[in-house]
Amino acid sequence: MGTKLSRRQMLQLMGSTVVAAAGSSLLAACKPAGPTATTEGPTAQSTIEPSPAALEQVTLKLAFAGDAPSSEVLGEVLAEAEARLADTLNVKLDISFAPWSDMSKLDLILQSGEDIDLIFDAPWWHIHQNIAQDFYVVLDDLLPVYAPHVLEVRPQIMWDANKFNGKVYGIPLGVFCYQGRQSIIRKDIREALGLPKPTNWDEMEALLKAAKEEYPDMIPINYFYFGDYASHLTTQDFDTSPRSTTMPDLDVLYMEGNDGVVRNMFEDMSERIWSIFQRVHAWFEAGYIPSDVLTNGQNYMMNSGKTVVDCQTEFGVPVTHRKDVEAMGGETEWVTFFDRSKKRVTNFLQYNFICVPKVSKNQERSLRFLDWANASKENYDLLAYGIPGKHWEPAGDDMYRVLDASYPWFPYMWVWNPTYERTNEEFGAEAADWNKWTMDANNFEADKITGHTFNNDAVVDQMAQLGALKTQYYYPTSSGTADLETNWQEYKEKANDLVKVVQEEYQRQVDEFLASKGG
């Protein structure tokens, strides 16, 4: 059917079709693909006065990660916030959540230039890369003008410590000067073994030994995060404050004390750290640690009923752990080896940030919204815990009681600060007390290099290689699974030359930073 074309005509038609298709896609690429970076942004000359009452309504789009509440529940809380803002900022709030397992959706949002006003990012995610790609607005001059309350509710040291390349690219979301650490213990098993609550690692080891003998089907101790038992011990060491450098994949460079010296574990191993590696390896040999530690950590958590001691961050037994263990007929308790009589050296780094993408058309309004959220305990409470009287109620000034658990806890995505933070009553008064202690900067000694960001441009190759070697050699060491001497020797042979180059560069930058501080 239809006229038959000659071969020449066919080729001409195909060629023109391809050209037309390519041309139209080029034209499409020339078309403005949505909001550009040159939207009207706030200027530093604006005043601090509250914004005028009759503002045109805008929808602020926020992109978070994690467990999303159902649209119904989130809608209720946001409706209440919008009602409170109706006469002033007049905003609608639209929050989307990328699942933890697919956080790359946040990267996709940034790279596609989608219209987003506030976005979550973190040092353990891609904040360094996204800053390097110039996705975020610098906030130093804008916060005092549009969000002074955001500045007030966080201590100055937190701001100084959480800059990137000397600038504020994101609002640090955190409450603790130093992250809490605990070991959750099956209290019923401990009591059945006739042992007291451990106060140090030797006593803990005695508990693990007895548990292994009397309960051979259970895992004595588990740590789900890559089985990094060594870090669980080093972070609770308040004597010499051993700590790895802040950049990922550089664990073999460490600091101890507070002298600003960057040390190399291969040539200048800390006795304290080596003894921790030895202890953790001994645990593995004795069968206290699960053998498939790197892959199955999650499956041996406390609420699976297979574990006697569970390593966790923060303080207080999580509600899910407690209820799940009680449903199995058990009981939980927790213990930390933090020492209040000593000042742990810390760099006050926070692990969560909220940033303003440059493509946002509502940069001023977004910052004013965060200012409102941080302006009072009532506003903070609403966004952090839900509708008072429905989802929660106060239990004193600094605790709260959950009434309806359908609104999840996610202040670390947008508003978390130490001034208004409440502890869930479920964690107990002891945990609340420890939380308050770690929120107080006076209880810690500031690391000399607080505020320093390592620029790895000069050592990118070495760091890439060290990253691969870390997976191969460091994790087996810190998880206790490898034969310590042999593994470490091999690691040293392969990595030491690379590490020395990075160490030199790191020390050089640290010295420069200290000199610039006059210290």
Partner 1 sequence: MPVLDTVNTKIRMQRAGRIKADVTLGERAFLYSIYASVIAFALFCLIPFWLVVAGSFTPEANLRLDGFRLIPRAFSTYSYEYVIHGNQIGNSYLVSFSVTIVGTLLALAVTVPFAYVLSRKVWISRPLSFLSYFTMVVGGGLVGFYILVSKWLGLKDTKWALILPYLLDPFFVFVLLAYFRTVPEEMIEAAVIDGANDLIVFWRVVCPLSAPIIATIGLFYALRYWNDWWLALLFIDSSANHPLQYMLKQLQATTDARFYIGNPSPRFSTVPNYGVRLATVVMTIGPIILAYPFVQRYFVRGITLGALKG
Burial 498-519 (b: 16+ CB within 10 A, else e): bbeebbebbbebbeebeeeeee
Residue 112 binding partner 1, by CB under 8 A: yes
Which 67-86 positions form the footprint of partner 1 (CB under 8 A)? 67-73
The yes or no reply on residue 468 touching partner 1 (CB under 8 A) is no
Q: Is 8 in the site for partner 1 (CB under 8 A)?
A: no
Burial 361-370 (b: 16+ CB within 10 A, else e): bbbbbbbbbb
Please select the residue that binds partner 1; options are 48, 52, 54, 100, rule is CB under 8 A.
100
User: Applying CB under 8 A, does 37 fall inside the site for partner 1?
Assistant: no
Stretch of 231-239, 282-290, 299-307, 464-472 lying at the interface with partner 1 (CB under 8 A): 299-307
**Nearer Cβ to partner 1, position 405 or 464?**
405
List helix spans (H) across 374-469. 377-385, 429-439, 460-469
Q: Virtual CA dihedral for 468, 474, 478, 482, nearest 10 degrees?
A: 110
**What letter would DSSP give residue 170?**
S
User: Counting contacts by CB under 8 A, is residue 304 touching partner 1?
Assistant: yes
CB of 168 to partner 1, least distance (A): 28
Task: Rule CB under 8 A: say whether 389 interacts with partner 1.
Answer: no
Q: Is 101 in the site for partner 1 (CB under 8 A)?
A: yes
Q: Are 283 and 276 in contact (CB under 8 A)?
A: no
Q: Which of 141, 128, 170, 125 is nearest to 355 (CA)?
A: 170
Shortest gap between Cβ of 391 and partner 1 (angstroms)?
Answer: 11
Report DSSP state, residue 62.
Answer: E
Nearer to partner 1, 40 or 72 (CB): 72
**CA proximity to 318, closest of 336, 334, 307, 296:** 334
Contact 300, 224 (CB under 8 A): yes
- CB 178, CB 346: distance < 8 Å: yes
Cβ closest to partner 1, residue 104 vs residue 516: 104
C-beta of 408 vs 467, nearer to partner 1: 408
- Rounded Cα distance, 126 and 95, in Å: 20
Q: Structure tokens of 149? A: 């309350």
Tokens 């023109």 locate to 16
Quick one: which segment of 13-21, 130-138, 285-293, 433-441 binds partner 1 (CB under 8 A)? 13-21
Q: How far is the CB of 70 from partner 1 (least distance, A)?
A: 5
User: Does residue 305 belong to the site contacting partner 1 (CB under 8 A)?
Assistant: yes
Range in contact with partner 1 (rule: CB under 8 A) among 108-116, 238-246, 361-369, 465-473: 108-116
| Residue 189, phi then psi, degrees to nearest 5 | -75, -40
The closest alpha carbon to 70, from 93, 106, 97, belongs to 97
- How far apart are the C-alpha atoms of 517 and 329, rounded to whole Å? 57
Q: How many residues bind partner 1 (CB under 8 A)?
A: 48
Nearer to partner 1, 110 or 233 (CB): 110
Cβ closer to partner 1: 119 or 502?
Answer: 119
Nearer to partner 1, 61 or 281 (CB): 61
* Residue 259 interacting with partner 1 (CB under 8 A): no
Residues in contact with partner 1 by the rule CB under 8 A = 1-5, 10, 13-14, 17, 21, 28, 33-34, 67-73, 94, 96-97, 99-102, 105, 108, 111-115, 303-306, 320, 323-324, 327-328, 404-408
